[in-house]
């Protein structure tokens, strides 16, 4: 211990000052963006990090090592003058420093690898030179910060080098204050904002009620200044960790989108001279925005809680408002406007699939316990109708009282909303809610996760509050309660793999129930590497089912490859869109695998 050594005193003073600077920077950004970072948020974050710790995800562990490593070294540097009086604490710090240093070293290696990949992606995206150098700088700083923190932890073991360690710490703290205060605020403020959360830009109800004039409604973002403070914080929080890019199906398929590059381009644009007035669409391409399948892997994987999807929806809304839609996209929206389904089928034929099956409509049986919300694809697609029939068979066997809306059902609106036509979405939502409420509907079953997500997470905002259950959940419960019995000799001797639908698993945490249902109906379930909340998209979400985007290979093809590698003979799906995409892909790739919904697999085992 150097005691009153002037050099030590100077380093310590700088240490304290740099820590104060970090604290100030964090405080300042929380104020600027009106983000709450109080003790409650911190406690919540700690709890959430602990939960994620138990999942053992290596990328998460590396990031936790960085955060804890920085925290530990800051704590140690502040305590340094008095640490000799607390030998137990010092021992604890030293013990903790070991796994953290290992994690940091791993993070360092991983980061370098991410850096190399990111440059390859930028080359494919033909990013500008100025973007590439800005990105290289930021990634360099991240690598430097990791390096500095790692060395600081190592230096903890070498008390003779305390001044070196202290100096390294000051340098790192300055980097943290300059570059990581925003992501910290963003993480503390928004770690628990679910993937499914979507900003509602206006209320059509208010317009219809005359509370605001249609002219006052502003949709989309034409200028950087139109992003709200939390969005700006979110995009400026990107420190190019690259987790989003690694998880993104659009990037993986060679489409012109990387969520990292997208967010950073907007952030960099906002910092140019006059950036506040700049149009984000000058920096972002149309195909870049249409490449997104809204699978949410970017948002879910971001260690600092950047919400890429908000940006994509806002910019898509701008494109829609400017009439920048090709004919496939406008045809879908026109079909929704005219026929209330996105395919242009005669609306009165929606319930035809149920003819002769003895299924009541709600008009005929308004007292049914459940409303089965069929959705457009299972209503009109001859293949997906089999899902609806399979579920109906299961419900009938279990004696569940249910009915459908038949011709009174309309599209839930999800395709319009994800494409950026908020008005059309809300129009459908209000019409559906009016219908559901007029029947006094309480409980709803859905076989499409997009319908499920809208009913469960989005409709309450517009006055539709229901108990919504996903078909895989209900089927699993019916099996558990013995209301659906699969005789042992009817369990099919076959190996299947389950493809989790993004909107069921990542958006709504449904992943154990479909597995239970499969366990009861097939002899073996093999898992793919990317599963449950880390599932990989089929390529249809975000309205991608209705249009084409330039790509090097199909997203469904990538996923089918993963499924084929398990050696499974069949792919189980839980979403009619996934089924459609994977069915095509298995045929294109001649894998010989069949694709069926979980409900079909269960229904097959019933007499």
Q: Which positions lie near other proteins, rule CB under 8 A?
A: 202, 204, 207, 214-215, 217, 219, 320-321, 323, 325-334, 337-339, 343-348, 377, 380-384, 421-424, 426-427, 545-548, 554, 557, 580, 583-585, 587-588
CB 581 → other proteins: shortest distance, Å? 9
Nearer to other proteins, 420 or 514 (CB): 420
Q: Nearer to other proteins by C-beta: 367 or 548? A: 548
Contact 292, 261 (CB under 8 A): no
Q: Are 595 and 586 in contact (CB under 8 A)?
A: yes
Q: Which is nearer to other proteins, 108 or 459 (CB)?
A: 459
Give the shortest CB-179-to-other proteins separation in angstroms. Answer: 39
Is the Cβ of residue 151 or residue 554 nearer to other proteins in the bound state? 554
The residue among 545, 289, 307, 286 whose CA lies nearest residue 415 is: 545
Residue 564 beta carbon to other proteins: minimum distance, rounded to whole angstroms:
16
Q: Among positive and negative, which fits the CA dihedral 198, 199, 204, 206?
A: positive
237: helix, strand or coil: coil
How far is 582 from 588, CA to CA, in rounded Å? 10
> What 3-state DSSP class applies to 494?
strand
CA angle, 542 then 547 then 551, to 5°: 90
Smallest gap, in angstroms, from Cβ of residue 591 to other proteins? 12
What does the alpha-carbon distance between residue 301 and residue 297 come to, in Å, rounded to a whole number? 6
Report the residue number, 521 or 591, with the smaller CB distance to other proteins: 591
Count CB-CB contacts under 10 A for residue 25: 21
In the complex with other proteins, the residue whose CB is nearer, 334 or 561, is 334
Taking each helix axis as running N to C, give the angle between helix 308-321 and helix 229-236, from 0 to 180 degrees, rounded to the nearest 10: 120
- C-alpha separations of 461 from 200, 350, 433 in Å: 9, 27, 11
Q: Measure CA 273 to chain center.
A: 33
CB of 524 or CB of 604, closer to other proteins: 604
Task: Give residues with Cβ within 8 angstroms of 161, minimum separation 6.
Answer: 155
Backbone angles phi, psi at 371, to 5 degrees: -95, 125
- Around Cβ 553, how many Cβ atoms within 10 Å? 12
Of the CA atoms within 13 Å of residue 329, those in its CB half-sphere come to: 24
Closest CB 213 distance from other proteins, rounded Å: 9
Q: How far is the CB of 343 from other proteins (least distance, A)?
A: 5
d(CA 385, CA 392): 11
Looking at beta carbons only, is 31 or 548 nearer to other proteins?
548
Q: How far is the CB of 554 from other proteins (least distance, A)?
A: 6
User: In whole angstroms, how far apart are CA 244 and each of 118, 130, 410, 532, 600?
Assistant: 11, 21, 34, 17, 34
Q: What's the min distance (Å) between Cβ of 430 and other proteins?
A: 11
Residue 213 or 489 having the CB closest to other proteins = 213
For 448, residues 6+ apart whose C-beta sits below 8 A from its C-beta are 373, 375, 377, 378, 412, 575, 576, 577
At residue 474, the 3 state secondary structure works out as: helix
CB of 115 to other proteins, least distance (A): 33
Task: Tell me the closest approach of the beta carbon of residue 503 to other proteins, in angstroms.
Answer: 19
Minimum CB distance to other proteins smaller for 179 or for 546? 546
Q: Work out how close the CB of 450 gets to other proteins at its nearest, in angstroms, rounded to a whole number.
A: 15
Nearer to other proteins among residue 433 and residue 479 (C-beta): 433
Nearest approach in angstroms of CB 307 to other proteins is 24
∠ CA 222-223-226 to the nearest 5 degrees? Answer: 95
Give whichever of 199 and 548 is closer to other proteins, judged by the CB atom: 548
Class of residue 472 by CB neighbours under 10 A (exposed 0-12, middle 13-18, buried 19+): buried
Q: SS3 sequence, 171-212?
A: HHHHHHHHHHHHHHHHHHHHCCCCCCCCCCCCCHHHHHCCCC
Q: How far is the CB of 578 from other proteins (least distance, A)?
A: 13
Whichever of 477 and 584 has its CB closer to other proteins, that residue is: 584
């Amino acid at each position: 211990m150097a005691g009153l050594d002037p050099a030590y005193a100077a380093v310590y003073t700088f240490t304290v000052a740099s820590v104060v600077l970090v604290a100030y920077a964090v405080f300042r950004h929380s104020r600027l963006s009106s983000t709450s970072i109080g003790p409650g948020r911190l406690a919540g974050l700690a709890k959430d990090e602990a939960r994620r710790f138990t999942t053992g995800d290596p990328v998460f562990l590396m990031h936790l090592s960085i955060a804890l490593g920085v925290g530990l070294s800051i704590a140690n540097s502040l305590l340094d003058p008095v640490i000799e009086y607390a030998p137990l604490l010092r021992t604890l710090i030293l013990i903790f420093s070991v796994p953290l240093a290992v994690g940091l070293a791993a993070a360092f290696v991983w980061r370098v690898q991410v850096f190399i990949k990111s440059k390859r992606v930028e080359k494919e995206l033909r990013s500008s030179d100025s973007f590439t150098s800005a990105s290289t700088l930021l990634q360099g700083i991240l690598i430097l910060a990791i390096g500095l923190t790692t060395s600081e932890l190592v230096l903890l073991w070498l008390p003779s080098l305390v001044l070196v360690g202290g100096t390294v710490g000051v340098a790192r703290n300055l980097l943290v204050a300059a570059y990581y205060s925003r992501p910290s605020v963003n993480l503390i403020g928004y770690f628990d904002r679910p993937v499914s959360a979507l900003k509602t830009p206006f209320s059509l109800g208010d317009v219809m009620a005359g509370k605001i004039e249609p002219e006052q409604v502003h949709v989309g973002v034409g200028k950087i200044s139109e992003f709200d403070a939390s969005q700006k914080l979110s995009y400026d929080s990107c420190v190019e960790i690259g987790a989003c890019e690694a998880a993104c199906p659009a990037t993986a398929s060679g489409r012109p989108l990387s969520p990292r590059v997208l967010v950073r381009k907007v952030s960099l644009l906002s910092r140019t001279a006059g950036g506040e007035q700049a149009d984000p669409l000058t920096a972002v391409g149309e195909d870049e925005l249409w490449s997104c399948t809204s699978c949410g892997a970017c948002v879910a994987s971001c260690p600092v809680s950047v919400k890429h999807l908000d940006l994509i929806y806002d910019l898509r809304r701008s494109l829609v408002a400017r009439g920048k839609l090709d004919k496939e996209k406008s045809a879908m929206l026109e079909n929704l406007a005219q026929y209330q389904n996105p395919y242009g089928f005669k609306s009165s034929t929606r319930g035809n699939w149920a003819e002769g099956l003895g299924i009541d409509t709600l008009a005929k049986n308004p007292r049914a316990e459940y409303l089965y919300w069929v959705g457009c694809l299972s209503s009109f697609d001859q293949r997906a109708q089999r899902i609806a029939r399979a579920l109906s068979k299961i419900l009938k066997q279990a004696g569940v009282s249910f009915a459908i809306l038949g011709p009174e059902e309309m599209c839930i609106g999800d395709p319009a909303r994800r494409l950026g036509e908020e008005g059309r979405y809300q129009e459908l939502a209000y019409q559906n809610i009016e219908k559901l409420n007029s029947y006094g509907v309480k409980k709803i079953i859905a076989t499409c996760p997009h319908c499920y997500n809208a009913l469960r997470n989005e409709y309450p905002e517009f006055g539709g509050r229901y108990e919504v259950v996903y078909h895989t959940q209900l089927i699993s419960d019916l099996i558990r309660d013995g209301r659906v019995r699969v005789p042992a000799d009817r369990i099919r001797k076959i190996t299947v793999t389950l493809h989790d639908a993004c909107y069921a698993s990542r958006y709504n945490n449904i992943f154990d129930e479909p597995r239970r249902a499969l366990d009861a109906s097939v002899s073996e379930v093999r898992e793919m590497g990317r599963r449950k909340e880390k599932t990989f998209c089929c390529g249809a979400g975000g309205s991608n089912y209705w249009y084409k985007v330039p790509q090097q290979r199909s997203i469904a093809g990538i996923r089918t490859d993963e499924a084929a590698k398990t050696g499974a003979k069949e792919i189980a799906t839980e979403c009619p869109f996934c089924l459609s995409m994977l069915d095509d892909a298995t045929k294109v790739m001649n894998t010989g695998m069949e694709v069926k919904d979980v409900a079909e697999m269960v229904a097959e085992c019933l007499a």
